[in-house]
Amino acid sequence: MEINEFLNLIKRKIGTIIFIVLLFLVFTVFFTVIQPFKYGSKSRLLVVQNFPASADLYAISKSNEHLSGILAKVIYSNSFYNDVLASGFNIDRSYFSKNSSNLEKEMKRWGKAIEAKVLSDTGIIDIKIFHTDKSQLEQISQAINFILKAKHQFYHGSGDNVSVKVIDQPIISNWPVKPNVVMNLVLAFIFGLIASLSYIYFFPEEKYNIRLWPKRSRTKKSKKEVRQEEKYLMSSEAGKEPVNNRESNNSDNGHKETSQVKDFLDGSLGYEDIEKKGDIDNIFGQQK
C-alpha cells in the first residue's frame, strides 16, 4: 500500500482510529486509578575513601564508584532492612509485611519501595523511596541515611577508611509521583495510535469499521406526516382531473360551436336561433 493510499485510508477510518485510541486511554485511566498513589522521597549520599595524596585520582574515583555500587545493592538486602526497622525510627512494618509471615513477599515490597543507583564516576548514591504515607516516607528516608552513615563498614571490607556523607537531605514530594499519570496517558496514546493504524492497515474493508456511535437509520414517519402526504397526493391527483375534463369539454364545445358558426354563415341558422341558445359569445368559444 502506497503512502497516499494509506493517508486516504486514515481519512476514511478516522472513526475507527479514534475509537481504538480512546479504548487504550480508558483502560489506562482505569488501571491507573485502581493503583495506590504514592509520594516520593529523594536524597543523595557521597562515599569517600581516605587515600594518600600521591594516590592516582582515577583509581580513587573507580574505587569510590565500586563501594557506592556495593552499598546501593546492600539497601535491598534483608540484613539492611532489619537494621532500618531496628534503627529507632517510627516505621510501620505492616506496610511491607501486610500482617503476613512470608518474608519473601515482604522483601519484594521493600524492594519495590526503593530505587538506589550510583551516579557514574562520582561515588554518589541516589536514593528514591515511595510510600503512600508522607510521614512514613520521611521516617524511612531518615532511617536509610542513618544506617548508611553509621553501619556502612559492616557491608564492605575497607573498614574505617571509608566514610558516607549525606549531601542532599530527603526531599518529600507534595503530590503523588506513582503511578505517573501523565506518562501513562502519553504511552497509552502512542500505543493506541500504533494499534489503530495497524488495524486499519490489515483490515481496510468497510465491514471492519468501528464506530463511536451506531450508524443513523432513517427515522420512521409519524402518522400525522403520512396523512398529510396522502392528502397532498390526493389533492394533486384531484387537481389534474378537472383540467383534463375541462380540456375535453372545451374540445367538444369547440367542435359544436364551430359547427354553429358554419350554419350561421351558410344561412341555415338565423340570428334568432342563436339568441335563443344563449349568449352570442358562445359561438366564438369564449369561456366564462
Rounded to the nearest angstrom, the gap between the alpha carbon of residue 199 and the centroid of all alpha carbons in its chain is: 17
Secondary structure of residue 168 in the 3-state scheme: strand
Nearest 5°: the CA angle 28, 33, 37 is: 120
* Beta partners for residue 117, in sequence order: 126
**pLDDT at res. 150:** 92
- pTM attached to this predicted model: 0.66
Give 79-133 pLDDT, tens digit per residue: 999 999 999 999 999 999 988 889 999 999 999 999 999 998 788 999 999 999 9
pLDDT of residue 101: 82
What's the topology of domain 39-172? Alpha-Beta Plaits (3.30.70)
How far apart are alpha carbons 135 and 142 in whole angstroms? 11
Average pLDDT over every residue of 220-226: 63
Cell of 227: 396523512
- For the chain, the domains span 3-33+180-208, 39-172, 223-284
228-243 pLDDT tens trace: 766 666 765 555 544 4
According to the model, what pLDDT value does residue 26 have?
A: 97
Q: 259-281 pLDDT, tens per residue?
A: 554 554 455 555 455 455 555 55
The one-character DSSP state at 77 is: S
Under 8 Å between Cβ of 117 and 128: no
